Structure 1
Amino acid sequence: MGRAPETRKQALVKLAWVGIWLVYLGAPVSDLADGGHGVLVTTAAALGLAAFVLAYLALVFLRTNAREKPEQWVYAVLVAQTGLSALLSATLGKSWLVLFVYVAVACGAALPFRESRWAVPAVTAVLAAIGASVDSGGDLYPALIIPALLGGFAMVGVKQLVRTMRELREARETVAQLAATEERLRLARDLHDLLGHSLSLITLKSELAGRMLPDRPDDAAEQVADIEKVSRQALVDVREAVSGYRRPTLTAELAGARTALASAGVTARVHADGPPPGLAPEAEGALAWALREAVTNVVRHSGAATCVVALETAGGLATLTVSDDGRGPGDDLEPGNGLTGLTERLILAGGTLRTDRSGDGGFVLRASVPLDPAPVGAEGGRAGGGRE
């Protein structure tokens, strides 16, 4: 329901459900079969009835699922059906009054509600007027007035139900697309942050090992061993990110930050030991990603000699600050993919991200996330750094 037939089988099934109600045309068919009319009248009436049935099937079959405003031919067909019903009923007798019921149903199926709510009663009124003249006994047309009204408005309800089903199906498809898009964004953010950090560290250690090789092969071998560890861990992280289980911790990222900064020859001043009390796992993960991104950018872009990492809690917020004394940001301070993805992570955790120039002319990043309402009994340092 709510979807146009897409295959021949679906079209035949729908046509069968529409056509089954034609059984109530038995009265006019019996009137023709009784032979009470001349050959010319019978032939003309049979052709008119066939044209009426084809028009009815076309309207109900084609217009029930339609969402656009009806074309002009729809109104023309409905007017023609009404005129044909009036002509056949007035000339052939009360057995043909049942055609008006089908006209009312066609109005409900083919017209929008603001028009069908008037068209159905109008067709019923025409039925009552002609029935009063051709059925002097009054035993037939009252029995058709209620079916005409109920059938017409029932089809209006069916069309409304079809529209609702269509909107629900479209909404479900939209939700599925949004979920897929969000998963792609999550995966892109994770892979960018994971591989950016790991590959930067591998590059640094490879360059360091290359400089050590001629004179200090033992130290070079140690760097190569570190490269192997980093690459293996990167592989594990990527697998976890793809599986959706990756959630870094502040403790691990603080240790990784010290290692990465030391390998790059940057003096690290870390004023934090781990997550403060009251920090939810989602918020801790967002700060851990912020620390990873900030340190990666210090190593790759800043040319800094010193990097300060601090974590403090105040005003119900935990704030991570990473700042360096290297090359500061450009005048436009345009964020790259890393900072854009980091902003999205923090927003999902209810936090914020701010970037600026540090007091030493370098770059500072501040990432803040809310703490749980429970009292927090720890003090941290300050936050900053990152520019990608």
Structure 2
Amino acid sequence: MRDRETDCNPVLMGAPPRNRKQLLVKSFWIVIWFFYLAGPVGNLVEGDMSPAHEVLGWSGLLTFVVLYFALVFRRMAHRPAPDRVARTVVACITALAIVMSLVLGPNWLVLFTFVGVAVGVTEPLRVSRWTIPALTALLLLIGSRYPDVRAYLFGYAIPCLLAGFSMTGVQYLIRTTQELRAAREEVARLAANEERLRLARDLHDLLGHSLSLITLKSELAGRMLPGTPEAAAQQVADIERVSRQALVDVREAVTGYRRPRLAVELAGVRAALRTAAIRADIDPALEREHRGLTAEGEGALAWALREAVTNVVRHSGADRCELLLTEEWEADERRYLCLSVIDDGAGPPRGGGHDGNGLSGLRERLALADGRLETGTARRGGGFALRAYVPLGTPPLTGTAAHGTDHSPATDPAPSGA
């Protein structure tokens, strides 16, 4: 799950880059901040400084950028520096920002914005909530020394304040996302462990008694064998009968484990459609239980749901997929549950043609459950429509009455002249 999500979201929050594309995208969001350095770089390129100031400017700017990159990239790669090292680096770039702003002019005040970002990235809220305003106050204090920028000094201060607190919020969101992802993984592990425990309990209940009985009868047959072979043969026959019954029980249990359920498949369908950026309109009836639906019928519908949505994702090119579950009466007085999967994609292949392996296998599964499969062009939008039918058991009396009133046209006798 995590790999699929990461591949579909190159800038997945809270996860390190796993390929070159993700690294480039995350790097872009860091490098874009360096457009703020246009002022200091332009100040150096103009050549109006003394040689000593130029040396200070280029060496200080290069050191500042290297330290900032090292600090932020290590954090992005989820290999953060130890707290003491990170705070030392933040102190160094703060000192560089102060010195170069005092010595080289007001254009260098933008360095405080990067310091604010570094503080927001590396420090918890209890520290950054006073450190970032202190940095902003220091920026205003230094900037007030330059009469030329006093009128728009807040143009330097507001980005420093906002960038710092924005990164604090982003870091909090990243930590929350990581905790949520860890919680989801823990829930999955607990669910798998619970399923193993359930399997162990079922196997014990199914085989414990049978195997104990087989053991006892085997010991009894061994004792009877020399003196009373007829009684020993009877015990062996009982062993065969018990072992055959145990084999039947195990096969039924395994069939139950392998049979898909609509609720489970629906959760996978939601994730698949969301990943493929296909809008899903899901009937709430899919999440309810239906009286009269057998285990075989539910399994067949679950397979139909899986196969239909797989085809929508892979072949349809659709933007929208509608999932419906309705009860329908047929002319043979039987009640059916109909699963409809309708998309607005390319529709059926031109010229018709045979079903693929997936639909052919689905027809066979539905036939085993006494159901059927219908496919064709959707009534609206020209997409593809798949309908899978399975029979329901005997309806309750109220349902029968409703059938007699609501669906009377389906049971009208034919005219006598027909």
TM-score (norm 2): 0.54
2:48 to 14, 23, 36: 36
The 5 A counterparts of 1:250-265 are none
Give the C-alpha shift of residue 135 in structure 1.
4.3
The 5 A counterparts of 1:154-193 are 154-193=166-205
- 1:2 and 1:165 in contact (8 A); partners too: yes
Aligned residue number for residue 87 of structure 1 = 99
Q: State the distance in 2 between where 1:239 and 1:46 align.
A: 77
Aligned residue number for residue 99 of structure 1 = 111
Q: State the distance in 1 between where 2:80 and 2:24 align.
A: 23
Residues 154 and 64 of structure 1, relative CA distance in 2, 3 Å threshold: farther
The 5 A counterparts of 1:278-293 are none
Aligned residue-pair number: 246
SS at match of 1:3: coil
- 1:65 and 1:163 in contact (8 A); partners too: no
Aligned residue number for residue 162 of structure 2 = 150
Q: State the distance in 1 between where 2:24 and 2:82 align.
A: 23
2:219 to 203, 207, 232: 207
1:109 aligns with 2:121: yes
AA aligned opposite 1:188: A
1:226 to 238, 241, 246: 238
Give the C-alpha shift of residue 160 in structure 1.
0.3
The 5 A counterparts of 1:4-43 are 4-5=16-17, 10-43=22-55
- 2:224 and 2:231 in contact (8 A); partners too: yes
Residues 106 and 183 of structure 1, relative CA distance in 2, 3 Å threshold: same
Query: Structure 1, residues 164-203: CA drift from partner, whole Å, max 9, x if none?
Result: 0010011111111111211222222222333321111111
Q: State the distance in 2 between where 1:122 and 1:83 align.
A: 14
Give the C-alpha shift of residue 89 in structure 1.
1.2
AA aligned opposite 1:29: V
Highest RCO, 1 vs 2 (Cα 8 Å, sep ≥ 6): 1
Q: State the distance in 1 between where 2:127 and 2:81 align.
A: 11
Residues 8 and 64 of structure 1, relative CA distance in 2, 3 Å threshold: closer
User: Tell me, which stretches of 5 or more residues in structure 1 are unaligned?
Assistant: 247-388
Percent identity between matched residues is 56
Q: State the distance in 2 between where 1:21 and 1:68 align.
A: 20
AA aligned opposite 1:20: I
Aligned residue number for residue 284 of structure 2 = none
Aligned residue number for residue 67 of structure 2 = 55
Query: Structure 1, residues 85-108: CA drift from partner, whole Å, max 9, x if none?
Result: 111111111111111111111111
1:120 to 109, 118, 132: 132
Q: State the distance in 1 between where 2:158 and 2:255 align.
A: 61
Q: State the distance in 2 between where 1:46 and 1:187 align.
A: 69
Q: State the distance in 1 between where 2:176 and 2:208 align.
A: 47
- 2:64 and 2:96 in contact (8 A); partners too: yes
Give the C-alpha shift of residue 226 in structure 1.
2.3
- 2:71 and 2:81 in contact (8 A); partners too: no
Q: State the distance in 2 between where 1:217 and 1:200 align.
A: 22
Q: Larger radius of gyration, structure 1 or 2? A: 1
- 1:60 and 1:109 in contact (8 A); partners too: yes
Give the C-alpha shift of residue 204 in structure 1.
1.9
Aligned residue number for residue 88 of structure 2 = 76
TM-score (norm 1): 0.57
- 1:108 and 1:153 in contact (8 A); partners too: yes
Q: State the distance in 2 between where 1:67 and 1:46 align.
A: 29
Query: Structure 1, residues 53-111: CA drift from partner, whole Å, max 9, x if none?
Result: 12222222234686999522222221221121111111111111111111111111110
- 2:53 and 2:104 in contact (8 A); partners too: no
Residues 11 and 129 of structure 1, relative CA distance in 2, 3 Å threshold: same
Aligned residue number for residue 144 of structure 2 = 132
User: Tell me, which stretches of 5 or more residues in structure 2 are unaligned?
Assistant: 1-12, 259-418
- 1:105 and 1:152 in contact (8 A); partners too: yes
1:237 to 240, 245, 249: 249
Bigger Cα displacement from structure 2, 58-67 vs 48-57: 58-67
Aligned residue number for residue 206 of structure 2 = 194
Q: CA RMSD in A?
A: 2.7
